[in-house]
Amino acid sequence: MPLSTVRHQLLRRAAFGVRSLASVSSSSPPPNPYTVGPYQIFDRNAKRMQRDRAATREGGERSRTVDYVREEVAVRMMERFMDIKREFNTVVDLGSGPGHFSRLLWPEKAKKAIMLDSSKATLHRDPDEEFDVEVERIHGDEENLLQYLPKDSQEAIVSCLSLQWINDLPGILVQINQSLKPDGLFLGAMFGGETLFELRTALQLAEVEREGGISPHVSPMTDTRDVSNLLGRAGFTLLTVDTDEVQVAYPSMWELVQDLQDMGESNAVIGRRTHVGRDTLAAASAIYKELHGNEDGSIPATFQVIYMIGWKKADSQPKPLERGSGKVNLKEVL
C-alpha cells in the first residue's frame, strides 16, 4: 500500500469520543532490592497485563480505535526504511504489538516479518490476511531477545514504540547488535522525554494544590543525547538519531487518559500510586485546559518520538581516514 494512501487513511481517523475514567492497578510485588541485575524501573508484568486487557476489550475494537499514534509513527519509520536502498529477506519487528510497522511492508522490500511481543493478546490481535508479507509471531519477553534469536542471524531489526518500557535499555541494544549479521540494520522509534509534558505538569500542580506533594504518573523517558550515546556503546556505527512530534487534540484530559489506557500505555512504574482522588483529577483537568488548552476548547497532547538508525560493524562499511592523512590545508579552504 503506498505511503500516501496510508497517511491519508490515518488523517481521516477520529481520536474523539466520550469515555469514563478508569484506573489501572497491578498486584505485582515490588522487586527484591537485593537482586543482582539492571535496576528495575518498570513493572513488566503489569505492563503485559495492561496490554493484554487493552487488546481484548470489546474484541479488540477499543484497541484499534486508538492505534492512531502508533500507526502515524510506523508510517514515519517506513519513510526512513524506504530511504535505505536495500532489500531484506526477513525483518524482525521487536515489540511489534499487532504489527503496525510489519503491516506496511511489501514483498519488494522484505519477504517476511518476524513479530516478537510480550503481550500474547496484542501480538495475535490482527489476522495474517492484513499483511502483504509472510508473518511469523513469537510470544516472548523483548528484554530476553537472545533467547529467541541466535547471534549474528538477522538482516534487520526494527522496533516501533516499545523500547520506552524496557528496564535495561543499554542491555537490549547490545542484544539487538549481537542478533544482527555484520552490516545488519537496526531502525527504532521510542517516546522521548517531552512526551505528555502537558499531562505531567497538570497532574503535578494538581497534586501539590490538593494533596501537598507529587507522585509519578507519567513514565520516565530518555532523550536524544542518551540514545546516541547508548547506540555507540552497544557497538553500532553510522548512527542517525533525530526527533519528531505527534500532537493530538482531545476534548479534555479525561478522553486522553482513557485513550492511553486503551492503548495499553498506562503508567507501569514500580511503586506508582494505583488510585488518584477524583478531586485531584478534576483539578488537573482544569489546570490542563487553563495552561495548554486550544482556542477551540480542546486540549493538545504531545508525543515526542526519537528515531534511531544504527548498523552493526562490518569490514565493508566506509571508514574515516586516518588522522593526518588529509591532502588539503583547512586554512586554504577557509
DSSP 112-144: EEEEEES-HHHHTSS-GGG-SSEEEEEE--GGG
What residue type is assigned to position 186 of the chain?
Answer: F
Interatomic CA distance for residues 179 and 234, integer angstroms: 12
* Residue 50: partners with Cβ closer than 8 Å, 6 or more residues away: 24, 261, 264, 265, 266, 268
E-strand spans in the chain?
88-94, 110-117, 134-139, 154-160, 180-191, 236-250, 299-312
Amino acid 13: pLDDT: 39
Smallest CA-to-CA distance from 176 within 289, 95, 102 is with: 95
User: Of how many residues is the chain composed?
Assistant: 334
Contact yes or no for 202/285 (Cβ under 8 A): yes
Query: Burial, 56: exposed, middle or buried (Cβ in 10 Å; 0-12, 13-18, 19+)?
Result: middle
Amino acid 273: pLDDT: 62
pLDDT per residue of the chain (334 residues) written in tens, 0 to 9: 554 444 444 433 333 332 323 333 333 444 444 445 566 778 898 899 999 999 999 999 999 999 999 999 999 999 999 999 999 999 999 999 999 999 999 999 999 999 999 999 999 999 999 999 999 999 999 999 999 999 999 999 999 999 999 999 999 999 999 999 999 999 999 999 899 999 999 998 998 888 766 555 555 567 777 899 999 999 999 999 999 999 999 999 999 999 999 999 887 777 666 667 788 899 999 999 999 999 999 999 999 999 999 999 998 887 766 676 667 776 676 6
Out of 3.40.50.150, 3.40.190.10, 3.40.50.620, 3.30.750.24, which CATH number does the structure's domain 44-196+220-248+302-312 have?
A: 3.40.50.150
Amino acid 221: pLDDT: 63
Contact yes or no for 64/14 (Cβ under 8 A): no
Q: What is the pTM of this model?
A: 0.82
Tell me the chain's radius of gyration from C-alpha atoms: 21
DSSP-derived secondary structure letter, 37: S
Amino acid 46: pLDDT: 87
* Residue 310: strand pairing partners: 186
Q: What stretches of 92-214 show up as alpha helix (H) in DSSP?
A: 120-123, 169-179, 197-211
Amino acid 330: pLDDT: 62
